[in-house]
Structure 1
Amino acid sequence: MSSQTEYQICAVDGGGTGCRAVIGRSDGEILARAAGGPANYTTNPIQATENLRKAVDQALSLAGSGALPLERTVAHVGLAGIMCEDDSQALAAQLPFAHCSVSDDRLTSALGGLGDRNGALLAIGTGSFAAGRRGASVRFLGGYGFKAGDQASGAWLGRELLCHTLLACDGLAEPSDLTRAVFARFDEKIHRLATYSATSDPSQFASFAPQIVEAAGDGDPVGQKVMRDGAAYLNAALDALALKETDAVCLIGGLGPHYATYLAPRYQALIAPSQGTALDGAMTLARKHLETAS
Structure 2
Amino acid sequence: MQDSTPNNVIGVDGGGTSCRAALVLDGQRHEVQAGAANATTDLDGTIRTLRDALAQLRGATGISGDRLQALPAYLGLAGVLDPRTGDRIAAALNLSRAQVGDDRRTTVTGALGGGDGAVAGLGTGSFMARQTGDRLRLIGGYGLTMGDEASGAWLGRGLLSHTLHALDGLIPHCPLTDAIAAEFGDAVEIVRFASTAGAADFAGLAPRVIAAAENGDATALTLMRAGARYVEQGLHAMGWQPAEPVCLTGGVGPHYAPYLADDIANALRDPAGTALDGALRLAAGIGDAP
Task: Tell me the TM-score normalised to structure 1 length.
Answer: 0.88
Q: 1:137 corresponds to which letter in structure 2? A: R
Q: Does 1:191 align with 2:153?
A: no
Alignment root-mean-square deviation, CA: 2.1
Aligned to 2:255: 258
Counterparts in 2 of 1:212 and 1:46: CA distance versus 1, 3 Å: farther
Contact 1:20 1:52 in 2 (8 A): no
Aligned to 1:220: 217
Aligned to 1:203: 200
Q: Tell me, in whole angstroms, the C-alpha distance in 1 between the residues paired with 2:17 and 2:225.
A: 25
Offset from partner CA, 1:176-200 (integer Å, 9 cap, x none):
21122222332x1332221110111
Q: SS in structure 2 opposite 1:41?
A: coil
Q: Tell me, in whole angstroms, the C-alpha distance in 2 between the residues paired with 1:176 and 1:43.
A: 39
Counterparts in 2 of 1:218 and 1:12: CA distance versus 1, 3 Å: same
Q: Which runs of 5+ in 1 are unaligned?
A: 1-6
Aligned to 2:11: 11
Counterparts in 2 of 1:28 and 1:42: CA distance versus 1, 3 Å: farther
1:33 corresponds to which of 25, 31, 34: 31
Q: 2:268 corresponds to which letter in structure 1? A: I
Q: 1:95 corresponds to which letter in structure 2? A: L
Please state how far the C-alpha of 1:238 moved relative to its aligned partner: 0.8
**How many residues are matched?**
282
Please state how far the C-alpha of 1:130 moved relative to its aligned partner: 0.8
Please state how far the C-alpha of 1:8 moved relative to its aligned partner: 4.6
After superposition, residues 117-128 of structure 1 pair within 5 angstroms as 117-128=115-126
Please state how far the C-alpha of 1:203 moved relative to its aligned partner: 0.9
Task: Tell me the TM-score normalised to structure 2 length.
Answer: 0.89
Q: SS in structure 2 opposite 1:48?
A: helix
Mean Cα deviation higher: 245-254 or 83-92: 83-92
Please state how far the C-alpha of 1:273 moved relative to its aligned partner: 1.6
Q: 1:79 corresponds to which letter in structure 2? A: L
After superposition, residues 217-256 of structure 1 pair within 5 angstroms as 217-256=214-253
Q: Which runs of 5+ in 2 are unaligned?
A: 1-6
Q: 1:282 corresponds to which letter in structure 2? A: A
Aligned to 1:3: none
After superposition, residues 1-294 of structure 1 pair within 5 angstroms as 8-25=8-25, 27-30=26-29, 32-61=30-59, 63-65=60-62, 67-69=63-65, 70-186=68-184, 188-291=185-288
Please state how far the C-alpha of 1:73 moved relative to its aligned partner: 4.1
Q: 2:28 corresponds to which letter in structure 1? A: E
Q: Tell me, in whole angstroms, the C-alpha distance in 2 between the residues paired with 1:46 and 1:162.
A: 35
Contact 2:155 2:223 in 1 (8 A): yes
Q: Tell me, in whole angstroms, the C-alpha distance in 2 between the residues paired with 1:46 and 1:205.
A: 27
Q: SS in structure 1 opposite 2:92?
A: coil
Contact 1:75 1:286 in 2 (8 A): yes
Please state how far the C-alpha of 1:278 moved relative to its aligned partner: 0.9
Mean Cα deviation higher: 234-243 or 88-97: 88-97
